[in-house]
Amino acid sequence: MYQVINPATGELVAEYPDATDAEISDAVDRSHRAYLSWRETPIAERARLVKRAAEIFAERTDELAAIITREMGKRIDESKGELQTVVSIFTYYAENGPTLAGDETLAIQGGNAVIQKRPIGSLIGIMPWNYPYYQVARFAAPNLVLGNTIILKHARNCPESAAAIESVLHDAGIPADAYINVYASASQIASMLADPRVQGVSLTGSERAGSAVAMEAGRNLKKVVLELGGSDPLVLLDSSDLDKTVEVAVAARMGNNGQACNAPKRMIVMDDIYDEFVKKLTGQMSAFEPGDPADPSTTLAPLSSQAAADELVEQIADAVAKGATLHTGGTHIDGPGAYVAPAVLTGVTKDMHAYYGELFGPAVVVYRAASEEEAIELANDTVYGLGSGVFSADPERARRVGERIDAGMVYINAAGGSQADLPFGGIKRSGVGRELGALGMEEFMNKKIVRL
């Protein structure tokens, strides 16, 4: 079953049955047949319908935001903020997609050639629960404009938002079979990837899920894009206003209650400001108060599920048992719901899960660095390589250090973030491929060479 369980109360709200094998087979057939006509629809018309979808997302913001607050516990103001980002993504590709997909002329020896940018077919999207609308938007918007069709399998705890997205797109005029929501199982994903009519898959989720999907995609020679975990470093070299820097760091870490792949989970601070930074950070992390995520005054929401809360508490307890210092939080909060008090850890060493693992929730690990070299070494000592942030009153110093960080994204005097026109993605175990911006439209594109 796909289930809506309100993580603020533990209440089972609704259940949705898994799709049958026959329904999955039918979805693949419908999606392929829709592609044959959708690709022939003029790109200006496809873009117009995607622009209309952006307008409907904006019109239904309150309704759609309430759904994900109920499904995965996001604070209502952040839920509405997520919808604003979704609107910007659909608008960006509607307005820029026709140009991004335009033919490109090449001057070659002995003549000329043209790169024709064309769709490739029916695609599968496998999406996570932490940003139920945003994650779908950055996959669906560029591919619908390009002319691909989509079969979307959402997270098991987001069936209501999954259905709502499908409703918005269909109400915008996008053909029903050009975007199909399915409540599929893992084995059914494998069967779809084996179908020759399916041309690729995009997954945002865990390393384990990414490895499994990549294996199936490789076995069937299908294009794959993976956006997986992260343990992003925030390197603090110096600060002209430490209070402000701490505020920025806390806001970045606690966005979506710490359940963001590109949030700064490791803060690496130079020795001369380390003690003061930890003190101020601990004070701000201790100030969050749990409450109903549907109440705009709430500052601390629940995690997405009780299982997620239990896992985070166990990870923190493992570090403390092995010698780490817990400055605040790290425990369940009494009462119903999947609430965990925000935690600050120091003294984390390589024998602890918190060193190499991803803490997916309201917890941050702080490291002391005696030099730029040590800071860079700590930043790169991870199996992940998604994003990073480098802070300094001297932007050139921050840029110089940032150039040596192994990551798909480096932010100077900022931590994380996402915008429609800026490519997003990582290296190492954080995945392969890019989403958003011009690069996001090229992942499932046939760059056909026509020799003149």
Give the number of other CB atoms < 10 A from CB of residue 18.
Answer: 15
% of residues, the chain, pLDDT over 70: 100
Could you tell me if residue 407 is left (phi over 0), alpha (psi between -120 and 50 degrees) or otherwise beta? Answer: beta
Mean predicted confidence (pLDDT) in 421-441: 98
Q: Tell me: the pLDDT tens digits for 303-319?
A: 999 999 999 999 999 99
> Given this model, what pLDDT does residue 87 score?
98
Residue from 71, 227, 358, 435 carrying the catalytic annotation: 227
**249-265 pLDDT, tens per residue?**
999 999 999 999 999 99
Three-state DSSP class for residue 19: coil
Per residue in 129-174, pLDDT (tens digit) is 999 999 999 999 999 999 999 999 999 999 999 999 999 999 999 9
The H or E element spanning position 182 is: strand 179-182
CA distances from 198 to 163, 193, 215 (A): 22, 6, 15
pLDDT tens digits, 398-420: 999 999 999 999 999 998 889 99
For residues 354-373, give the mean pLDDT: 97
Mean pLDDT of 34-55: 98
Residues 165, 156: Cα–Cα separation, whole Å: 15
Average pLDDT over residues 269-291: 98
pLDDT, average across residues 228-238: 97
Token output for 278: 């930890």
Which residue among the candidates 158, 160, 166, 261 is catalytic per the annotation?
Answer: 261
User: What local confidence, expressed as pLDDT, does residue 102 receive?
Assistant: 97
Q: Name residues whose C-beta falls within 8 Å of residue 97's C-beta, 6 or more positions apart in sequence.
A: 43, 46, 47, 50, 142, 145, 146, 441
What local confidence, expressed as pLDDT, does residue 452 receive?
Answer: 86
pLDDT digits (tens, 9 = 90+) for 169-215: 999 999 999 999 999 999 999 999 999 999 999 999 999 999 999 99
| pLDDT attached to residue 416 | 83
Q: Is 207 a catalytic residue?
A: no
Q: Reply yes or no on whether 261 is catalytic.
A: yes
Give percent of the chain above pLDDT 90: 98
Task: Determine contact, residues 152/118, Cβ cutoff 8 Å.
Answer: no
- The pLDDT tens digits of the residues spanning 1-39 come to 899 999 999 999 999 999 999 999 999 999 999 999 999
Over residues 84-117, the pLDDT tens digits come to 999 999 999 999 999 999 999 998 998 899 999 9
Rounded mean pLDDT of the chain? 97
242: buried, middle or exposed (CB in 10 Å: 19+, 13-18, 0-12)?
middle
**For 323-362, what is each residue's pLDDT tens digit?**
999 999 999 999 999 999 999 999 999 999 999 999 999 9
Q: Are 170 and 94 in contact (CB under 8 A)?
A: no
